[in-house]
Amino acid sequence: MLNKTATTSLILFAFLSNPLAEENAAGESWLTRSGYYRVSYTSLLDPLTINTIHDWVFHIENSDGVTVNGAVVSVSGGMPQHNHGLPTIPRMTRSLGNGDYVLEGMRFHMNGYWELNVTVDVGGRRDTVIINLTI
Ligand SMILES: [Cu+2]
């Protein structure tokens, strides 16, 4: 049985061992600008590598942590430091239920710092958030 300090040290070690963990942390979520929705994602390409078309699954909850169905999720974005956008136009192709939405056509063509503008629209109640990641 590990004591709490040892457990914390192990977690910290695992975290520091993966330099991408901080920026692309699984389980991280983002509250949209007006506070309507909480957005998280899973890349079905893991680890993320450049120049590979793949899908992401976005998970949408409301501010109370209740999963949101019936949303339309869209993504644009780019590399602000390079002043260019995404090389593809990802599209939401289906809803999996339980607040999960598949976006196909994700592709990053350069390593570095990316920002994604994610818009969530539920019956006209629209809100947006910027998700940043480093590949
Ligand atoms: Cu670039």
- Put simply, whether the predicted model's pTM sits higher than 0.85 gets the answer no
DSSP state of 6: H
Specify the pairing of strand 84-85 against strand 91-97: unpaired
Asked if residue 13 belongs to a domain, the reply is: no
Interval between CA 37 and ligand 1 midpoint (Å):
29
Cβ neighbors of 41 (< 8 A, separation 6 or more) are 56, 57, 58, 59, 131
Token representation of residue 47: 């680890």
pLDDT tens for 42-98 read 999 999 999 999 999 999 999 999 999 999 999 999 999 999 999 999 999 999 999
Asked if residue 9 belongs to a domain, the reply is: no
Interval between CA 83 and ligand 1 midpoint (Å):
7
Asked if residue 115 belongs to a domain, the reply is: yes
Interval between CA 119 and ligand 1 midpoint (Å):
22
CATH code at position 102: 2.60.40.3340
Token representation of residue 42: 């899973």
**Domain limits at 29?**
23-134
Q: What is the pLDDT of residue 27?
A: 75
Asked if residue 46 belongs to a domain, the reply is: yes
Interval between CA 16 and ligand 1 midpoint (Å):
26
Interval between CA 49 and ligand 1 midpoint (Å):
14
